[in-house]
Amino acid sequence: MNRSFVDALGGIYPGNRLLTRDVELLPYESDALTAFQTKPGAVVLPENDAEIIATVRLCHEHSVPFVARGSGTSLSGGSLPIADGLTIALNRLNRIKVIDPQQRIAIVEPGVVNLHISQAAQPYGLYYAPDPSSQSICTIGGNIAFNSGGAHCLKYGMTSNHVLGMKVVLADGSLTEFGSESLDGCGIGPDLIGLFVGSEGLFGIALELTLRLLPLPELYRTVLAAFDDLGQAGDAVSQVVASGLLPGAIEIMDRLAIRAAETVGANYPDAEALLIVELEGEAPQVEAEFAQLRELIERSGAFEIRSAQSEDERARIWKGRKSAFSAVGRLSPDYIVQDGVVPRSRLGEALQQIDAMKRRYGLEVANVFHAGDGNLHPLILFDGREDGALHKAEALAGEILAMCVKLGGSITGEHGVGVEKRDYMPAMFSEAELDVMLALRKAIDPREIANRGKMFPGGEAPALTMQGMHPLERQGVISRE
Amino acid sequence: MITSDEQVRAFVGAHDRLHVRGMGSKPALHQVDAPILDMSALRGIVEYQPQEFTLTVRAGTPLREVVAALAEQGQYLPFDPLLPESASIGGTVASNLSGSRRHRFGGVRDFVLGAAIVDGTAQGYTVGGKVVKNAAGFDLTKFLVGSLGNYAILTELTFKVFPDVPRFRSLRFTYATLAEALEASYDINRSRFELDALDILPGADGAVLQARLGGFSETLPARVQRFSDFVTTTTAPQHVEVIKDELSIWDCVGDLDGACLAKVTLAPRQLLALDAAIDGAKRRYTLAGNIGFVACEDASWLGDVLARLGLRGLLLRGQARSPLLGAPLENVLAARVKATLDPLGKLV
Ligand SMILES: Cc1cc2nc3c(=O)[nH]c(=O)nc-3n(C[C@H](O)[C@H](O)[C@H](O)COP(=O)(O)OP(=O)(O)OC[C@H]3O[C@@H](n4cnc5c(N)ncnc54)[C@H](O)[C@@H]3O)c2cc1C
């Protein structure tokens, strides 16, 4: 890394917040897509806006690429460092500045952990709705960058739907604010929040977010249904949707995912497929909906139905689902998670095709998905110590994505494109559309320094290595449950 | 008559400046001296899949048609488009206008999934997707919500739609002062009651909170009672009334006659200051005091008031140099998008 640049960084950061030694850089070499590892030139640990702004301006001046990093839980290589670039780690900007129960908003710094917002809002009977499974570690800045979702976004939307205002520093160092404290967000004029959220760190760094909080639902009613056949579970979803009910969450797990969940003590029925449906809202309405839902599910061919009668039982139903990813990690040394979307009515078809593909590849695939919105999460199991295994798994993952696009869906529902899926962008977008996105990126970041090499196809390829645990997990800094 | 995307592209190609208009239901948006690109003939439902909760329509389609097609399947646009009798769907998205039912699930931005557009360089392409969830690429579709046709022309739109509920009940709570009504709205808005709408109506003496509950017929009466009890005990209104003919009270701009009509985006905390400053104008606040609709005789007066309070408004009806009222909207990020999508500044 350029000496004068590092010296200039030394003018912003004390030595203990400017990391340049190999051993210090190690934990930042990858995100949760551990197949990709790159050593950054340096890592800085800002503690306030002013430091971030000064850093971005310095990067712009020196044309040094930078990556903003929250907790590094990206599953698409979004926070993978750039070789010889700067990683700006935002975890220390973790202040919740305002919880305003009257206006139902929170104002937070980007390094705040998702779950901490709900915890802070809880005494007021409020919560922050988007709930990625990684919510106990991932940051709101990372959520913003990927427009992260969770099991409950069918009804209340993804991250973007919950952001009302933001303050950002663009990649060329310009500062801007948009949106407001109104629940109407941008309200008048173009929706800049909508544009920034999901831009995967390619426009700049979010410094402050104004978020919408929701009242905690009065009542949850959660049903777990076990089926002998994955197709039947899919049909049950169609029936639920056709009935006019609007559940907060509809999730399906297949046999292998169920087996994985057993390793964390989920205690699920022994089944080919499990369906979880959750209703939430005002108690009398939910009870009435629940009666309708039970009836529907009883007629759907499920051989066992469990309903949670208490918060405890509800937590038990969700435990296996929420820790499915890490549980799969116990079944197999390595795995890749995919995140494609298909129209809901084509879920059955998609699953059949995945089944055929995995046989052809001779690989195991566990399926966990947000069935309500057609968002698949196939987990492709492999052993990175075997020659060529990773490449084979990646090839299968690629076929799955191509299938999703062909069925009219998307290559990513919530994990983002990052490094991993950038080569699939042309499958999903026309040349004209990609050109416009690229032009937009260049208009906002003329030197293309913000998260260079992500999202757009054809960037320099980082080294592919063996999988394994996330470096921070290996060090015991983070865990997934 | 424009009936295809190709014709839109040709129109853009043939003009140095142009202004997009849907059905013209918000005349204040169209006081521009430029050739008009009339979108009202580019209409029709392209694809509607009730099972997928998705709907794709051409931008010039009258809301009336869209709303009717959805109602036939028991579904609706949860952002509750404003002016459903006279506006087009494209104009509604471009001006980001919602009615009172926006309260329950969100605004226009929360329900647009994708679009076909023509930009200022006469290029046509699609943005976003057609599935209810998609995180690939930059979300230009959302950006175009509220963009007033100044960045690109929407020719087709895909929405996420929801099942509607079969029954509604509405209640009115009267308070001695607007401040009391606002306090009460805070309590209600963070309560566990899931309201379809919550409007604040300032009156000559006091103010009214108007709430709507929707759901199954069997449970609605009990829910209404429970809600009413909650409001009565926590906020002590002077008067509570259950409205019989409830549909008619939810046209949130219907009674706001006057030469000018504007939407104002505000935080509830700013409501009392705004209301004091526009005392005398007809007005109503939707979304628990987060959006205001104001009718008055003079748009420049309203613009000055808003600017003084640091608020923004959008003029829908009435004379003004620009429909954008109040605090300036200039933004460096928006300017860069403009330079990308419409480098020659054709779209005015
Ligand atoms: C076990 C597990 C389960 C998961 N479950 C889900 C799930 O259910 N749903 C889901 O959507 N995702 C899920 N994820 C993926 C991941 O947690 C999310 O993408 C999350 O939003 C990343 O947050 P982070 O703080 O770790 O961000 P990082 O990985 O550090 O960064 C992600 C991206 O955000 C950018 N970024 C970070 N901060 C900022 C900022 N302030 N301004 C601009 N850009 C910024 C980075 O440059 C990078 O591109 C899961 C991951 C794991 C490991």
Summarised one tens digit per residue, pLDDT across range A311-326 is 999 998 998 888 888 8
CB of A75 shorter than 6 A to ligand 1: yes
A361 Cβ contact partners less than 8 Å away, ≥ 6 residues apart: A392, A393, A395, A396
Mutation choice for A interface testing from B72, B153, B333 by most A CBs within 10 A: B333
CA dihedral B275, B280, B283, B289 (to 10 degrees): 10
Question: Is residue A480's pLDDT more than 70?
Answer: no
CB of A203 shorter than 6 A to ligand 1: no
Q: How high is the pLDDT of residue A40?
A: 95
Q: What is the pLDDT of residues A192-244, one digit of tens each?
A: 999 999 999 999 999 999 999 999 999 999 999 999 999 899 889 989 988 99
Which whole number is the average pLDDT over A454-473?
59
Three-state secondary structure readout of B154-199: EEEEEEECEECCCEEEEEEEEECCHHHHHHHHHHHHCCCCCCCEEE
CA dihedral A449, A454, A459, A463 (to 10 degrees): 110
In chain A, which residues have their Cβ closer than 8 Å to the Cβ of B347? none
Q: What is the pLDDT of residues A335-379, one digit of tens each?
A: 888 999 999 889 889 999 999 999 999 999 999 999 999 999 999
Distance CA B300, CA B74 (A): 43
Which B residues 27-66 touch A at CB under 8 Å?
A: 49-54
* Cα→Cα distances B129→A82, A231, A259, B232, B341, Å: 30, 26, 34, 46, 19
> What percentage of chain A has pLDDT greater than the value 90?
78
A89 Cβ contact partners less than 8 Å away, ≥ 6 residues apart: A28, A43, A44, A45, A46, A69
Q: How confident is the model at residue A33 (pLDDT cuts 50, 70, 90)?
A: confident
Q: What is the pLDDT of residues A247-300, one digit of tens each?
A: 999 999 999 999 999 888 889 999 999 999 999 999 999 999 999 999 999 999
Tokens of A60: 């712009």
Distance CA B76, CA B48 (A): 12
Q: Are strands B19-21 and A364-370 parallel, antiparallel or unpaired?
A: unpaired
Q: How confident is the model at residue A142 (pLDDT cuts 50, 70, 90)?
A: very high
Q: How high is the pLDDT of residue A82?
A: 93
Q: ipTM of this complex > 0.90?
A: yes
Name residue B122's amino acid.
Answer: A
Distance CA A201, CA B158 (A): 26
Distance CA A441, CA B140 (A): 12
Q: How confident is the model at residue B245 (pLDDT cuts 50, 70, 90)?
A: confident
CB of A206 shorter than 6 A to ligand 1: yes
Q: Does B186 contact A at CB distance below 8 Å?
A: yes
- C-alpha A419 to ligand 1 mean position (Å): 13
Which B residues 97-116 touch A at CB under 8 Å?
A: 105-107, 109-110
A190 Cβ contact partners less than 8 Å away, ≥ 6 residues apart: B143, B144, B145, B146, B147, B150, B151, B334, B337
The atom number, within ligand 1, closest to the CA of A325 reads: 1
What are phi and psi for residue A365, nearest 5 degrees?
-130, 125
Q: A102 and B105 in contact by Cβ < 8 A?
A: no
Q: Does A239 contact B at CB distance below 8 Å?
A: no
Q: What is the pLDDT of residues B29-43, one digit of tens each?
A: 999 999 999 999 999
Q: A181 and B267 in contact by Cβ < 8 A?
A: yes
Q: How high is the pLDDT of residue B284?
A: 98
Q: How confident is the model at residue A460 (pLDDT cuts 50, 70, 90)?
A: low
Q: B137 and A238 in contact by Cβ < 8 A?
A: no
CA angle B221, B227, B231 (to 5 degrees): 145
Rounded to the nearest 5 percent, the helix, strand and coil shares of chain B are 30, 30, 40
In chain B, which residues have their Cβ closer than 8 Å to the Cβ of A293? none
Q: How far is B220 from chain A (nearest CA, A)?
A: 8
Question: Is residue A468's pLDDT more than 60?
Answer: no
Distance CA B78, CA B105 (A): 6
In chain B, which residues have their Cβ closer than 8 Å to the Cβ of A421? 136
Closest among A385, A425, A394, A362 to A33, alpha carbons compared: A394
Question: Is residue B254's pLDDT more than 90?
Answer: yes
Q: Are strands B75-76 and B162-163 parallel, antiparallel or unpaired?
A: antiparallel
Question: Is residue A465's pLDDT more than 70?
Answer: no
Q: How high is the pLDDT of residue A264?
A: 84
Mean pLDDT for chain B overall: 96
In chain B, which residues have their Cβ closer than 8 Å to the Cβ of A287? 219
Tokens of B231: 């409001």
Closest among A327, A159, A197 to A256, alpha carbons compared: A327
Distance CA A341, CA B133 (A): 7
Q: B125 and A125 in contact by Cβ < 8 A?
A: no
Q: Does B327 contact A at CB distance below 8 Å?
A: no
Q: What is the pLDDT of residues A424-454, one digit of tens each?
A: 999 999 999 999 999 999 999 999 999 999 9
CB of A480 shorter than 6 A to ligand 1: yes
Q: How high is the pLDDT of residue A459?
A: 61
- C-alpha A316 to ligand 1 mean position (Å): 25
Residue linked to tokens 């003018």: A11
Q: How far is A443 from chain B (nearest CA, A)?
A: 6
DSSP single-letter state for residue B75:
E
Q: What is the pLDDT of residues B179-234, one digit of tens each?
A: 999 999 999 999 999 999 999 999 988 999 999 999 999 999 999 999 999 999 99
Question: A365 - beta bridge partners?
Answer: A380
Which whole number is the average pLDDT over A71-81?
92
Tokens of B198: 């919550």
Three-state secondary structure readout of chain A: CCHHHHHHHHHHCCHHHEECCHHHHHHHCCCCCCCECCCECEEECCCCHHHHHHHHHHHHHHCCCEEEECCCCCCCCCCCCCECCEEEECCCCCCEEEEECCCCEEEECCCCEHHHHHHHHHHHCEECCCCCCCCCCCEHHHHHHHCCCCCCHHHHCCHHHHEEEEEEEECCCCEEEEECCCCCCCCCCCCHHHHHCCCCCCCEEEEEEEEECEECCCEEEEEEEEECCHHHHHHHHHHHHHCCCCCCEEEEEEHHHHHHHHCCCCCCCCCCEEEEEEEEECHHHHHHHHHHHHHHHHCCCCCEEEECCCHHHHHHHHHHHHCHHHHHHHHCCEEEECCCECCHHHHHHHHHHHHHHHHHHCCEEEEEEEHHHCEEEEEEEECCCCCCHHHHHHHHHHHHHHHHHHCCCECCCCCCCCCCCHHHHHHHCCHHHHHHHHHHHHHHCCCCCECCCCCCCCCCCCCECCCCCCHHHHCCCCCCC
The atom number, within ligand 1, closest to the CA of A110 reads: 41
Q: B190 and A104 in contact by Cβ < 8 A?
A: yes
- For B142, which of A102, A104, A195 is closest by C-beta distance? A195
- C-alpha A132 to ligand 1 mean position (Å): 9
